[in-house]
Amino acid sequence: MEYPSDDNILKDLKQSKFLPVYILYGDEPYFIDTITDFIENNILDEAQKAFNQSILYGRDVDVKQILDHARQFPMMSDRRVVIVKEAQTMKDLKALDTYMKSPSPQTILVIAHKKKLDGRIKWIKDAKKSEEIGMLNAQPIAEYRMSKWIKEYVRSAKLKISESAVEMMTQHLGTDLKKIANEIEKIKVNLKSGGTIDVTVIEKYVGISREFDVYALLKAMSKGDIEKVQQIVINIEENEKNQPLQMIIPGMAAYFEKVIIVSQNFTKDDRSLGSMIGAYSSFVKEYRDMASRFGAIGLIKIYSLLVRADAQSKGLDKRKSDGILKELIGKILLFEKVA
């Protein structure tokens, strides 16, 4: 049977509702790792693990070896746990067919496959209908849903978070769920239960500072604060190790994609626009300001500049990275419509 989310599987596991087989697959490794880690660390106690838990890696084993582990009887325990990590590196997954038809009731077999599965394989089709096999298609979180995911994770950590802090994390950490979760856990160690994560807390414990980063640069551009823009560009270029162009330019491109959407839907209210671009309505004004400052035609030209600068930053046109950002910002400002 297919589970709608990792939370559903974790809820059952925490209530000791176990299935003989879990097939975890898809392009978002965070959800796969979360379930795998829980099973590895919580089903058996330390004494039982010595004889009844096997951690295998797809690159090192074949299906026959996996089944040898899965079919063993538990020793001094009610069950065995067999976890196959990096199963996407295996070539003979089709050979699991016989076991999937009749899995051992004393074993919890976990197949952690960090890629899409070939839906044409018969046992995979059958597994979706089986009551003995739990399946999870782990898909990445869409950018517009990241704010909600962060707030839910923070709530589960028994903390609170301000809207500004959510926006800051989404801007700087993107959709890397593992990195976001690790940073929240780092903050949790330093905050009392029920404490609030705000911008100051993030700057202190995560090391993100907004004073001279790419998003401060974009905000200054939206306000037409040329002096601030120049200060930030100089700071970024002097600290390229901490803020590499290969991260800055994609961040700018993602930002201007949202500005273009706002420009095309300018008459909509802030709540609707915020929903469309995955931002709090209180932050929509900045995107409106940028859209007004450069206009629809200017924004399209700016996006073209960003695509070219991205290629330059990655050495695709054999140009060194020196001066790329300064030149890029200079060209962008030429498209400004208002003073």
241 Cβ contact list (under 8 Å, min separation 6): none
Residues 34 and 129 placed together within one structural domain of the fold: yes
Residues 248 and 298 placed together within one structural domain of the fold: yes
* Alpha-carbon Rg for the chain in angstroms: 25
Residues 237 and 288 placed together within one structural domain of the fold: yes
Tens of pLDDT, residue by residue over 271-301, are: 899 888 887 777 889 899 999 999 999 999 9
Residues 41 and 113 placed together within one structural domain of the fold: yes
Nearest to residue 119, comparing CAs of 25, 5, 236?
A: 25
- Cα 106 to Cα 186: distance, rounded to the nearest angstrom: 37
Q: Does residue 33 fall inside a structural domain?
A: yes
CATH number at residue 302: 1.20.272.10
Q: Does residue 46 fall inside a structural domain?
A: yes
CATH number at residue 158: 1.10.8.60
Q: Does residue 338 fall inside a structural domain?
A: no
Q: Does residue 308 fall inside a structural domain?
A: yes
- Cα 136 to Cα 77: distance, rounded to the nearest angstrom: 27
Residues 198 and 223 placed together within one structural domain of the fold: no
Residues 80 and 179 placed together within one structural domain of the fold: no
What pLDDT is stored for residue 115 in this prediction?
94
Match 């009610």 to its residue by tokens: 78
In 10 A of CB 302, how many CB atoms? Answer: 23
Tens of pLDDT, residue by residue over 110-168, are: 999 999 998 888 888 888 889 999 999 999 988 778 888 999 999 999 999 998 888 88
Ordered per-residue pLDDT tens for the chain, 339 residues: 899 999 999 999 999 999 999 999 999 999 999 999 999 999 999 999 999 999 999 999 999 999 999 999 999 999 999 999 999 999 888 899 999 999 999 999 999 999 999 888 888 888 888 999 999 999 998 877 888 899 999 999 999 999 888 888 887 777 889 999 999 999 999 998 899 999 889 888 887 666 667 888 888 898 888 888 988 888 888 777 767 888 888 888 989 999 999 999 999 999 899 888 887 777 889 899 999 999 999 999 999 999 999 888 887 665 555 688 899 999 998 887 653
Residues 182 and 264 placed together within one structural domain of the fold: no
Domain stops at, among 170, 205, 240: 205
- Cα 144 to Cα 159: distance, rounded to the nearest angstrom: 22
Residues 100 and 147 placed together within one structural domain of the fold: no
The domain of 255 spans: 214-333
Residues 245 and 280 placed together within one structural domain of the fold: yes
What is the residue-averaged pLDDT of the chain?
A: 89
Residues 96 and 171 placed together within one structural domain of the fold: no
Coil, helix or strand for 310?
A: helix
Q: What are phi and psi of 91, to 5 degrees?
A: -110, -10
Q: Does residue 339 fall inside a structural domain?
A: no
What pLDDT is stored for residue 23 in this prediction?
97
CATH number at residue 68: 3.40.50.300
What pLDDT is stored for residue 339 in this prediction?
39
Burial (CB count <10 Å: 0-12, 13-18, 19+), residue 76: exposed
Domain stops at, among 138, 157, 181: 138
Residues 127 and 225 placed together within one structural domain of the fold: no
What pLDDT is stored for residue 212 in this prediction?
66
What pLDDT is stored for residue 316 in this prediction?
67
Helix %, strand %, coil % of the chain (to 5): 60, 10, 30
**How far from 26 is each of 56, 123, 136, 146, CA to CA, in Å?**
19, 17, 8, 18
Domain stops at, among 89, 104, 138: 138
In 10 A of CB 338, how many CB atoms? Answer: 9
What pLDDT is stored for residue 206 in this prediction?
83
Residues 200 and 219 placed together within one structural domain of the fold: no
HSE value, Cβ hemisphere, 13 Å, CA-based, for 56: 29
Tokens (6 digits) for 38:
């829980």
- Cα 258 to Cα 254: distance, rounded to the nearest angstrom: 7
Q: Into how many domains does the chain fold?
A: 3
Q: Does residue 70 fall inside a structural domain?
A: yes
- Cα 103 to Cα 80: distance, rounded to the nearest angstrom: 12
